[in-house]
Amino acid sequence: MTEFAAARRWQPFHTPKNLAAALSVEAGELLEIFQWLTPEQAAVVMEDPKSAHRVRDEVADVLAYLLQFCTAVGVDPLAALDAKIDRNELRFPAAPDE
């Protein structure tokens, strides 16, 4: 993604604020696909080729902007996820087996 943006000279626009805003917009576009669907309709969205294509495109956009944001602010996304899971393990212990 960094090379893609650099080849297009987008770096001046890829500030943390702009990337966070773009990420939010793309997440909103993903949500828009499901916005008025019932839970039953949402469960089968990926069975329709047209809606499945839209979902995949929006997921790709969200991921692309998230990775670019992480690069801009110096966050390793996998390390951040690991740390968050560790904190959540402490906050929300697993239910004991019955």
User: How many helices (H) and strands (E) would you count in the chain?
Assistant: 5, 0
33-48 confidence digits (pLDDT tens): 999 999 999 999 999 9
Contact 2, 64 (CB under 8 A): no
* pLDDT for the residue 98: 75
* pLDDT for the residue 1: 82
Q: What is the mean pLDDT of residues 49-72?
A: 97
Mean pLDDT of the chain: 95
Q: Is the pTM of this model over 0.85?
A: yes
10-37 confidence digits (pLDDT tens): 889 999 999 999 999 999 999 999 999 9
